[in-house]
Amino acid sequence: MGKLDRQRVKESSLQAVKPAKASIPEYDSSERSAVMVHRRPNFFYHLHPPTLPARESRFGYTFGLGGISLLLFLALGVTGVLEMFIYLPTLADAAASVRQIAYLAPFGWLLRNMHYWAGQMMVGTVILHMARVVLSGGYKGRRSNWLIGMALLALTLLLDFTGYVLRWDQDTAWALVMGTNLVNAIPGIGPALYRLLIGGQTVGQATLLRFYAWHVLGLALVATVLIVWHSFRVRRDGGISHRKSAPGPAPRVGREQLVRTEAIAALLTLAALVGLSVLVNAPLGPAANLSVLMTAEPRAPWFFLWIQELLRSAPVFLAGVLAPLAVFTLLSVLPYALDRGPAGVGEWFNRPGRLAQGVFLALVLAVIALTARGLLR
Amino acid sequence: MTGHQVNTSPLPSQGGACPERVEGGRGAGDRRAFLAWLTRGSLATIAALALGQVARFISFAPAAEDQTAIPVGQPEQYAAGTLTYVEPARAYIGRDGAGLYALDAVCTHLGCLVAQQAGGGFACPCHGSRFAADGQAQNGPASQALRHLALNLNQDGQMVVDRSRPVTPATRLAEDS
Ligand code: FES
């Protein structure tokens, strides 16, 4: 009880820094933090604990990848809602409405490009975030949050794929046909699941509409809830994963330092997003027509190219369903099967986690190699 | 409330000292555990049933309009030895020595449209499957032959392709005019 009260006092506005300073001598209270003492901490400060482990708060430890992914998700929400004002999820109008956004609406091109590039960047940042967590033992002692993260990885890929389909040009419509036919190959429940996915016997109006519903709300809502839970778990698990140093407490820094780093990272991310969106247009091919013979080979989105590559040589169920599931399952059980102990948390390439790191890197390399082979075709 | 708490968690050292509480505690504990189990079980059952209905709801599709008989023109349009892709039917219409036939262009692997190859036969652009001129799978991931589709004449002398009716590769249109 007494401990809890003290905790509250520590968190409260006026004494945000002082008790920490008293108990942990190495904490360096800069002039800036002294100013903070007299202000009520704003929302962004409240998202952080008053003090954080100094070593693990450095940008060079996390590279801010989780926060950057969150920022991109928010950018996707804002640009996506704006696109919904013009986009029409119907076979007749989808491609035309995308063109209205891209060519006619003021700054629509920028909006669409930002939505596209934020989606691509987010796939990259969540995968790098996952790599950071594996390679620095960040999941040790907090494995449930790793599973939430895996669910978020799956949701990110599904959100990207459903969004890709909404563009409704030749490439994306054929990717939809192939992707949904994969489901058909599952023994037993395949055909029922296929009908549930596409809303009928063949890909058509119902399919586009339900992919739209999944994209703008169904998946996005679940992802929002899981992101909040994922972030909450970090606080609940004792803040950012950090080395348990002995003896005595590790040096800590005030949260204003981290908030400042995060603000800089956010600005740089937004600058990169806008810059990329100004320079490179999101792809947009001829309107989808599933009766016209294709002129070029339709490609899966880049993050599924490795599956398309596997499909060339292995049976559909094995390459298109079992292989991705196996990769996903293997990643999910890393901290439960191969890297169970708490030792080595917060250390890049820590010794106890070598096996898990090796398996992870081997998987990543295999996927990259297959993707490269697909790209070079 | 306090009494209940005592019953659910009797300390081991105190359990023997108070037999009445242990007896009452056991009975109440069993009952409570059973009720909790019952509650959780019913909630899970209701949730599972509701989810099943959600799945049924989103699997609903209105009956598709009859799009099975697709007109592909007059027999005279197709000369001997030709093979023509007809877009609305998503099928190749060919004429060989035996007569007219319709070959489904939809790849049996994952549903892309196969393209005619220079040397005869078909190739799929998606994962590289190869099919012989009669539709037999030759190479690549697809293991099933392209489907031959029913080809009929309607009252106006127009040919129609029935995408819902596969036929044997030897089937030809009966031309008796
Ligand atoms: S769809 Fe034709 S080879 Fe895969």
Q: Over the stretch A239-265, which tens digit does the pLDDT of each residue have?
A: 888 887 666 777 888 888 888 999 999
The count of CB pairs under 8 A between chains A and B is 69
B2, part of any domain: no
Q: Which domain holds residue B144?
A: 69-167
What is the whole-number distance in angstroms between the Cα of residue B108 and the centre of ligand 1? 7
Is residue B5, in this structure, part of any structural domain at all? no
pLDDT per residue as tens digits for the range A328-377: 999 999 999 999 988 888 889 999 999 999 999 999 999 999 999 989 88
How many whole angstroms from B121 Cα to the centroid of ligand 1?
A: 15
Within-domain flag for B172? no
Residues B141 and B110 in one domain: yes
Q: Which residues line ligand 1 (CB under 6 A)?
A: B 107, 109-112, 124, 126-129, 140-142
Q: What is the pTM of this model?
A: 0.83
* Closest C-alpha residue for ligand 1 atom 1: B110
Whether residues B100 and B39 fall in one domain: no
State which residue of chain A sits closest to B144, comparing Cα positions.
A315
B139 inside domain = yes
Nearest-CA neighbor of A183 among A168, A167, A161, A152? Answer: A161
Distances (CA, A) of B101 to A324, A326, B74, B114: 40, 43, 13, 17
Q: Whose CA is nearest to atom 3 of ligand 1?
A: B127
For the domain that residue B104 is a member of, what is the CATH number? 2.102.10.10
Chain B CB contacts of A311 below 8 Å: 109-110, 127, 141
* Mean pLDDT, chain A, integer: 88
Neighbours of A262 (CB within 10 A): 21
* pLDDT at residue A38, rounded to an integer: 56
Cβ <8 Å between B64 and A201 = yes
Long-range contacts of A326-330 (CB under 8 A, 24+ apart): A327/A363, A327/A367, A328/A150, A328/A154, A330/A359, A330/A363
Whether B59 has its CB under 8 Å from any CB of chain A: the answer is yes
pLDDT surpasses 80 at A276: yes
User: Domains in chain A, please, with CATH?
Assistant: 59-239+252-282 (1.20.810.10)
Domain assignment present for B99: yes
**Same domain as B74, residue B49:** no
Is B1 within the bounds of a domain? Answer: no
Chain A residues closer than 8 Å to B88 by CB: 291
Residues B162 and B79 placed together within one structural domain of the fold: yes
B50 and B75 part of one domain: no
Atom of ligand 1 nearest to the CA of B107: 2
Q: Where are the beta strands (DSSP E) in chain A?
A: 51-53, 252-254
- List chain B residues with CB under 8 Å of A292: 87, 113
Residues B54 and B136 in one domain: no
Residues B108 and B132 in one domain: yes
pLDDT at position A221: 97
Q: Are residues B34 and B96 in the same domain?
A: no
B158 and B77 co-located in one domain: yes
* Same domain membership, residue B115 and residue B91: yes
Residues B46 and B85 in one domain: no
Q: Which of A79-88, A200-209, A360-369 shows the lowest mean pLDDT across its residues?
A: A200-209
- B24 with B100, same domain: the answer is no
pLDDT value at residue A313:
87
Check CB contact under 8 Å for B61 and A308.
no
Flag whether B54 is in a domain: yes
For chain B (177 residues), the mean pLDDT of every run of 10, in chain order, is 44 47 65 93 96 88 71 89 91 90 93 90 91 91 92 88 89 73
Q: What is the rounded average pLDDT of the residues A186-200?
A: 90
Please check whether residue B3 lies inside any domain of the structure.
no
Between chains, do B85 and A316 touch, taking CB under 8 Å as contact? Answer: no
Number of domains in chain B: 2
